[in-house]
Chains A and B, each alone.
Chain A
Amino acid sequence: MDAPRESPQQADPQEPQDGHGETLLAEAEPVTNTNGPKQNSLLEEEEEEEEENLYTEATEEVSLDSPERDILLSDGPSPVTPPASLISPHLPHNHLYTHCSFDEIEEEDGPDLFDINISVSDPEKVGDGMNAYMAYKVTTQTSMSLFKTKQFSVKRRFSDFLGLHGKLASKYLHVGYLVPPAPEKSIVGMTKVKVGKDDPSSNEFVEKRRAALERYLMRTAKHPVLLKDPDLLQFLECSELPRALSTQALSGAGILRMVNKAADAVNKMTIKMTESDAWFEEKQQQFENLDIQLRKLHCSLESLVCHRKELSVNTALFAKSAAMLGNSEDHTALSRALSQLAEVEEKMEQLHHDQASADFYLLSELLADYIRLITSVKGVFDHRVKVWQKLQDSQLLLQKKREAEAKLHANKPDKLQQARDDIKELEGKVQQGERDFDQISKTIRKELGRFEKERVTDFKAVIIKYLESLVLTQQQLIKYWEAFLPEAKAIS
């Protein structure tokens, strides 16, 4: 199901992409920054985070393009050097995933404990017709000094989230940070909502999206480096946010990107890195395997959710039959019992429906989130390869220049000087390349360590919630059965 990775061509920065006059950021200059991410590496971020919508329910979601690609056209600020070290202790909060036991503090730092809780709520339709959109309330509760107040809310729309993700990805992905992927766009789902259908499937869509946005923000905020990012802080705190234009689905830019994607696929496949670090090789294999397993699991789960919904429907049908039998029955006590049977079955219909929701929102979405996260992981691995490739290229070029210089004699003093200048420059480049490569490798190691710890916490929290739902269902059933038994026995 994986589309091949690609590294995009560097597009002409001045080329207008669509009728909105959006342009690429001017990032094509090969600036040699010694201090941080190279400008032109911005273009390499259109990551393969979410190449396709993997969890498409038949009638619902269609993802035209991955939000990552929006970075190309993001109207975010220019890249910022991420901090050199991973800081801040990492303590799980206790909201979305309740009942977590306290993990050990990873690294001691400043006085701030990690304490933040973000919720997304109150979806509200704004506007009419095809220009309508859903506004969500984003509420942050925190005691951290990073923020101005302890509790505050803002209104955000879906494209704001995508815009935020675009900015974060453009700054951090290419240096090896696992930026959590944003939830997917859906043409079909949103169109229904815009058109004003107030039916269960539209409501379900909005709820699914709301929950996904909430998980997205929490996951992002949990990242000690991302939490400090000014764009994230602005997103959470500012009442007015400039509209992120580049995320519009069906834009001309989107189509251009798709074309680029296809072309780059071929390019990508030819990069082969000689891995000197066995750790990376091992890890990559592990993540490949994990990806396959999770997708399989997700499939079985979708099957489970589907059947559970079916059960709810069939139970309702049977309840109706029982009611009809009860109504036609002459024998009074039997008639009463059959009517009670119908009521019990109706209650069970609701229970099954609720259980299907738990199946989906807890388990299925967890797996889907992790499948998306793994594409992030694969993305940073790929970035590392690119960095290595760059280094190789620089080294090769340096070697060539040296060889050429050796051949140049004192005959042509100008040329010799030029050559020596070039070599000096290239040596600088090579050094920078080596530093970049070390840095990204180091960051990735740290990030994967964090990922693996988080994974345990996440899964545990979800399973506990899920088990609680199972226990609750059984307890409800016990109540229903205990109430029904005397009715059955009363038949004489």
Chain B
Amino acid sequence: MEEDKTGTSSTLSVSATSIKVTEVSKDGDALTFIIVSQKLSGTGEYHVDRTYEDFEWLQQHLFSLEDVPGIQGIIFPPLPAKAQLNPSAKLVKQLGLLATGENWMLYCKALEAYLQQVAAHNTLNKTKDLETFLTSAEPPGRQKVKKGIFNRLSQAVEGIRKEGHKDVDEFFKTERDHNFTLTGFSKTAAERFLEVVLTEQKIAMACGHFAASLQLCVEAGEDPDMQTFSKMCVKISEVMVSMKSNVQKVAENNVSTLGLGLDLESRYQEAEKEMLFRRTCKLVELETASRNAERAKPVKKAAMDEIKRAAEKDFDHTSGVAKQEIARFQRARVDVLRQALIQWCEQQLLTAKDSAELYKQHLQAFRGPASSDPSS
């Protein structure tokens, strides 16, 4: 192994699955996240506070890891967009499902997933930067980091041209097509699921308004029929409140299980897309270098050949890593979706059972005992 200037051969001292983003605190417009992780040695845990900039720092450092052959073949765990306290409409749209949870809890879960994914990645988790991020009391340097070759902007510009570039490898050709389809579908699915959740929230609000308005129908008066009616209004109001909490719970379940899963799937497909694109760029580089080497004048030939060999080596490494990453990714995403679907189903089932019970109780209260009291 080459000498690790960036500490690529160190091991993480905490358990990947134990990493939790437990809290978020507000500081002006910025959010600070509390991250807790358990020591592998079992002797305790680390508590650190980090801002979004710290996450970005980590991500950038991962992108610019040195001495990792074929690094561009890695599917980097996707970091969610930056969250702000009073998000603009554009940001809300960008965050999608992640913006809907209460008190940013969902967003914390997404950050948590990110950290766990990085910590579970056999290459990425070897960097000292991850260790620093998770364990150091001091926030990692918040200075501007060098933007590696992963500058999205430049990619976007060249992207249109290169993205469609024909592949030499059947496996990758298929994978690129497949990924293209899935990226689109999963994004749409996440967006439509968000719409469902937002509508549920509107229903909850309407129920709340109705319940509140009903309370105003309560009339003072000694007239027995009027009193009966007033009591009834109060009861109906309670039914509405139950309806409201039912719909809210359903929305919450949706968002915290399947919603999170769909969001992650969508962003991860994007991450794979970016990796495949990088590899395609390497392919283009290689093909260009080959052509140049072929056409080179004898004077330059040796140099061109050297470039071509380097490009070839790089491309092969990248493709090799990419194949492994793809296999790993396929397993991981099935797992994520499986978990999401099971949890979703279980939670919704529980909520439905609870609600059925509650509504039955209301029904009993209205039907009352067989005797004549209409207000029981």
**Known contacts being A286-B219, A296-B213, is A478 close to B356, with CB within 8 Å?**
yes
Stretch of A47-55, A150-158, A166-174, A452-460 contacting B (4+ beta carbons < 8 Å): A452-460
Chain B residues 187 to 205 lying within 8 A of chain A, measured CB to CB, are: 188-189, 192-193, 195-196, 199-200, 202-203
Query: Across the interface, do B189 and A290 meet the contact criterion of CB distance under 8 Å?
Result: no
B33 at the A interface (CB under 8 A): no
**Known contacts being A459-B236, A471-B359, is A331 close to B367, with CB within 8 Å?**
no
In the complex formed, the residue of B with least CB distance to A467 is B363
CA distance A311 to B204 in the complex (A): 12
In the complex formed, the residue of A with least CB distance to B217 is A293
**Known contacts being A307-B203, A328-B178, is A485 close to B195, with CB within 8 Å?**
no
Interface residues on A, range: 35 or more
Query: Across the interface, do A474 and B374 meet the contact criterion of CB distance under 8 Å?
Result: no
A113 at the B interface (CB under 8 A): no
In the complex formed, the residue of A with least CB distance to B198 is A314
Query: Across the interface, do B236 and A482 meet the contact criterion of CB distance under 8 Å?
Result: no
**Known contacts being A468-B363, A477-B352, is A325 close to B186, with CB within 8 Å?**
yes
B181 at the A interface (CB under 8 A): yes
Chain A residues 454 to 491 lying within 8 A of chain B, measured CB to CB, are: 455-457, 459-460, 463-464, 466-468, 470-471, 474-475, 477-478, 481-482, 484-485, 488-489, 491
A103 at the B interface (CB under 8 A): yes
CA distance A220 to B358 in the complex (A): 36
Stretch of B2-10, B223-231, B305-313 contacting A (4+ beta carbons < 8 Å): B223-231
Query: Across the interface, do A484 and B178 meet the contact criterion of CB distance under 8 Å?
Result: no
B372 at the A interface (CB under 8 A): yes
A418 at the B interface (CB under 8 A): no
Stretch of B52-60, B111-119, B342-350 contacting A (4+ beta carbons < 8 Å): B342-350
B137 at the A interface (CB under 8 A): no
Chain A residues 169 to 190 lying within 8 A of chain B, measured CB to CB, are: none
- Cβ-defined partner of B182 (8 Å) among A301, A328, A474: A328
**Known contacts being A485-B349, A488-B345, is A297 close to B217, with CB within 8 Å?**
yes
Chain B residues closer than 8 Å to A244, beta-carbon distance: none
**Known contacts being A297-B214, A325-B185, A488-B342, is A452 close to B229, with CB within 8 Å?**
yes
Query: Across the interface, do A456 and B195 meet the contact criterion of CB distance under 8 Å?
Result: no
A115 at the B interface (CB under 8 A): no
B104 at the A interface (CB under 8 A): no
Chain A residues closer than 8 Å to B362, beta-carbon distance: 467
B5 CB to closest chain A CB, in angstroms?
Answer: 40
Chain A residues closer than 8 Å to B372, beta-carbon distance: 101-104
Query: Across the interface, do A474 and B363 meet the contact criterion of CB distance under 8 Å?
Result: no
A294 CB to closest chain B CB, in angstroms?
Answer: 8
B 19-51 binary contact with A (CB < 8 Å = 1; else 0): 000000000000000000000000000000000
Query: Across the interface, do A297 and B213 meet the contact criterion of CB distance under 8 Å?
Result: yes
A391 at the B interface (CB under 8 A): no
**Known contacts being A457-B374, A488-B342, is A325 close to B189, with CB within 8 Å?**
yes
In the complex formed, the residue of B with least CB distance to A317 is B192
In the complex formed, the residue of A with least CB distance to B243 is A470
B81 at the A interface (CB under 8 A): no
Chain A residues 240 to 294 lying within 8 A of chain B, measured CB to CB, are: 286, 289-290, 293-294
B330 at the A interface (CB under 8 A): yes
Chain A residues closer than 8 Å to B352, beta-carbon distance: 474, 477-478, 481
In the complex formed, the residue of B with least CB distance to A289 is B219
CA distance A485 to B347 in the complex (A): 11
B210 at the A interface (CB under 8 A): yes
Chain A residues closer than 8 Å to B196, beta-carbon distance: 311, 314-315, 318
**Known contacts being A311-B199, A317-B192, A318-B196, is A485 close to B345, with CB within 8 Å?**
yes
Query: Across the interface, do A463 and B239 meet the contact criterion of CB distance under 8 Å?
Result: yes
B206 at the A interface (CB under 8 A): yes
Query: Across the interface, do A460 and B363 meet the contact criterion of CB distance under 8 Å?
Result: no
Most buried by A among B182, B189, B330, B371: B189
B191 CB to closest chain A CB, in angstroms?
Answer: 8
Most buried by B among A318, A452, A459: A318
Query: Across the interface, do A304 and B203 meet the contact criterion of CB distance under 8 Å?
Result: yes
Query: Across the interface, do B200 and A311 meet the contact criterion of CB distance under 8 Å?
Result: yes
Most buried by A among B203, B216, B342, B349: B203
Query: Across the interface, do B345 and A459 meet the contact criterion of CB distance under 8 Å?
Result: no
Chain B residues 229 to 263 lying within 8 A of chain A, measured CB to CB, are: 229, 232, 235-236, 239, 243
B 356-376 binary contact with A (CB < 8 Å = 1; else 0): 100110110011101110110
Query: Across the interface, do A322 and B189 meet the contact criterion of CB distance under 8 Å?
Result: yes
B338 at the A interface (CB under 8 A): yes
Query: Across the interface, do A304 and B207 meet the contact criterion of CB distance under 8 Å?
Result: yes
CA distance A322 to B196 in the complex (A): 13
CA distance A329 to B243 in the complex (A): 36
Query: Across the interface, do A471 and B356 meet the contact criterion of CB distance under 8 Å?
Result: yes
A321 at the B interface (CB under 8 A): yes
B334 at the A interface (CB under 8 A): yes
Query: Across the interface, do B178 and A330 meet the contact criterion of CB distance under 8 Å?
Result: yes
A303 at the B interface (CB under 8 A): yes
Chain A residues closer than 8 Å to B295, beta-carbon distance: none
A233 at the B interface (CB under 8 A): no
CA distance A289 to B363 in the complex (A): 28
Query: Across the interface, do A452 and B232 meet the contact criterion of CB distance under 8 Å?
Result: no
Chain A residues closer than 8 Å to B188, beta-carbon distance: 321, 324
Query: Across the interface, do B349 and A478 meet the contact criterion of CB distance under 8 Å?
Result: yes
**Known contacts being A330-B178, A331-B334, A481-B345, is A459 close to B206, with CB within 8 Å?**
no
Query: Across the interface, do B330 and A331 meet the contact criterion of CB distance under 8 Å?
Result: yes
- Cβ-defined partner of A314 (8 Å) among B185, B195, B349, B360: B195
Query: Across the interface, do B206 and A477 meet the contact criterion of CB distance under 8 Å?
Result: no
CA distance A314 to B217 in the complex (A): 34
CA distance A294 to B216 in the complex (A): 10
CA distance A15 to B65 in the complex (A): 98
Query: Across the interface, do B366 and A467 meet the contact criterion of CB distance under 8 Å?
Result: yes
Query: Across the interface, do A307 and B349 meet the contact criterion of CB distance under 8 Å?
Result: no
Query: Across the interface, do A464 and B367 meet the contact criterion of CB distance under 8 Å?
Result: yes
Query: Across the interface, do B359 and A459 meet the contact criterion of CB distance under 8 Å?
Result: no
Query: Across the interface, do B209 and A456 meet the contact criterion of CB distance under 8 Å?
Result: no
A334 at the B interface (CB under 8 A): yes
Chain A residues closer than 8 Å to B206, beta-carbon distance: 300-301, 303-304, 307
- Cβ-defined partner of B356 (8 Å) among A324, A474, A484: A474
B310 CB to closest chain A CB, in angstroms?
Answer: 35
CA distance A307 to B202 in the complex (A): 7
B271 at the A interface (CB under 8 A): no
Query: Across the interface, do B374 and A101 meet the contact criterion of CB distance under 8 Å?
Result: yes
B353 at the A interface (CB under 8 A): yes
A 295-337 binary contact with B (CB < 8 Å = 1; else 0): 0110011011001101100110110011011001111001001
In the complex formed, the residue of B with least CB distance to A306 is B206
Query: Across the interface, do A300 and B349 meet the contact criterion of CB distance under 8 Å?
Result: no
**What residues of chain B have their CB less than 8 Å away from a CB belonging to chain A?**
178, 181-182, 185-186, 188-189, 192-193, 195-196, 199-200, 202-203, 206-207, 209-210, 213-214, 216-217, 219, 221, 223, 225-226, 228-229, 232, 235-236, 239, 243, 330, 334, 337-338, 341-342, 344-346, 348-349, 352-353, 355-356, 359-360, 362-363, 366-368, 370-372, 374-375
19 A–B pairs (Cβ distance < 8 Å), ordered by A: A99-B367, A286-B219, A293-B217, A297-B217, A300-B206, A308-B203, A314-B196, A318-B192, A325-B182, A330-B330, A337-B338, A452-B225, A463-B236, A463-B239, A471-B356, A474-B352, A475-B356, A482-B349, A488-B344
11 further A-B pairs in the complex, CB-CB below 8 A; given A474-B359, A485-B346: A101-B371, A311-B196, A314-B192, A315-B196, A325-B189, A452-B226, A452-B229, A459-B232, A459-B236, A471-B359, A474-B353
